């Protein structure tokens, strides 16, 4: 006996006949009769007395009806709770530091406009750490810089970005707007920490040119690096989206190396085995259609 049997039995009781129950359930009359017969056979009881072509509940049937109504109501309550949980539960989002500084607050705010009952928990860390949290099921989805590294991570691009070389406006290299790889290698470099998407792209690009750069500053804070550059402590390579305010206010200048561009994509990632709920799909779409487009 299963929940289907119980629902058929209760419907027969409510309708007073096999035929009426079959019509209500949109199933055949033999299917209803078979379900009743299976219950009776399993428990060796008679659920109905059939007198003058009418059905009358037996004592065993009366006892089952009371319990069946209770079990069905409990199941319906459980089902409703699970469905509501998806719309009223918790969404765990991770983000790399650059994305967390620039894009995530607006995306979460837009999501909350239509999903006010969902509690959004956010973790902001290096791309490397965020990937690890996804793999350990500590996060539902995440936004990172660059390509994910693990085979169990599914990703899709939601934004393109470029790293810029920046210096103070009064730096000796600022006037030309262009520098050589040798000048970059000879400069004091202020860089993001290892494990960040920004640092990974810079190191990879330099490695392709057979150049190794040892920074004099390493920081998880992009703003700290911008302030250090503004005071003339060296050059940095940072995302355009995070230095555009400093460029607009003319506190830093950008430099280019002919033939070299630090371009990358931002990715939305989740574990390949993760169930993608409706709220997760909605958040992903908000990121793809964000105000930065």
Q: Are 190 and 233 in contact (CB under 8 A)?
A: yes
* pLDDT one-digit tens code per residue, 248-265: 999 999 999 998 888 888
CA distance 81 to 88: 10
Predicted model pTM: 0.60
Q: Which two tokens stand for residue 238?
A: 């940072």
Task: Quote the radius of gyration of the chain (alpha carbons, Å).
Answer: 32
What's residue 85's pLDDT?
63
Residue with structure tokens 């950008």?
254
> Which domains does the chain show, CATH number per domain?
3-86 (1.10.10.10), 88-159+265-288 (3.40.190.10), 161-263 (3.40.190.10)
Q: What angle do CA 36, 37, 43 make, to 5 degrees?
A: 95
Contacts of 272 (CB under 8 A, 6+ apart): 152, 153, 154
How do beta strands 90-96 and 189-192 pair? Answer: unpaired
User: Is the confidence at residue 292, as pLDDT, over 60?
Assistant: no
Give the model's confidence band at 121: pLDDT under 50 very low, under 70 low, under 90 confident, else very high.
Answer: very high
The torsion defined by the Cα of 199, 204, 207 and 211, in degrees rounded to 10, comes to -30
Comparing CA positions, the residue from 288, 290, 266 lying closest to residue 163 is 266
């Amino acid at each position: 006996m299963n929940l289907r049997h119980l629902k058929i039995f209760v419907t027969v009781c409510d309708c007073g006949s096999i035929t009426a129950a079959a019509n209500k359930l949109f199933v055949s009359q033999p299917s209803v009769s078979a379900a009743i017969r299976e219950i009776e056979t399993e428990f060796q009881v008679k659920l109905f007395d059939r007198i003058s072509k009418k059905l009358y509940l037996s004592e065993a049937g009366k006892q089952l009806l009371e319990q069946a109504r209770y079990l069905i109501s409990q199941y319906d309550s459980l089902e409703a709770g699970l469905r509501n949980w998806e719309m009223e539960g918790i969404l765990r989002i991770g983000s790399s530091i650059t994305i967390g500084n620039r894009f995530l607050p607006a995306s979460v705010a837009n999501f909350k406009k239509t999903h006010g009952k969902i509690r959004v928990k956010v973790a902001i860390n290096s791309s490397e750490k965020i990937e690890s949290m996804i793999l350990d099921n500590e996060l539902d989805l995440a936004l990172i810089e660059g390509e994910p590294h693990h085979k169990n991570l599914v990703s899709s691009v939601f934004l393109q970005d470029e790293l810029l070389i920046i210096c103070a406006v009064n730096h000796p290299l600022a006037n030309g707007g262009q520098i050589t790889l040798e000048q970059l290698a000879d400069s004091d470099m202020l860089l993001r920490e290892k494990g960040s998407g920004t640092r990974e792209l810079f190191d990879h690009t330099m490695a392709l040119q057979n150049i190794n750069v040892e920074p004099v500053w390493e920081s998880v804070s992009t703003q700290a690096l911008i302030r250090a550059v503004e005071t003339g402590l060296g050059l940095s390579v940072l995302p355009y989206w995070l230095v555009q305010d400093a460029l607009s206010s003319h506190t830093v200048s950008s430099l280019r190396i002919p033939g070299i561009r630090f371009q990358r994509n931002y990715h939305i990632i989740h574990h390949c085995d993760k169930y993608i709920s409706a709220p997760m799909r909605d958040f992903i779409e908000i990121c793809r259609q964000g105000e930065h487009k």
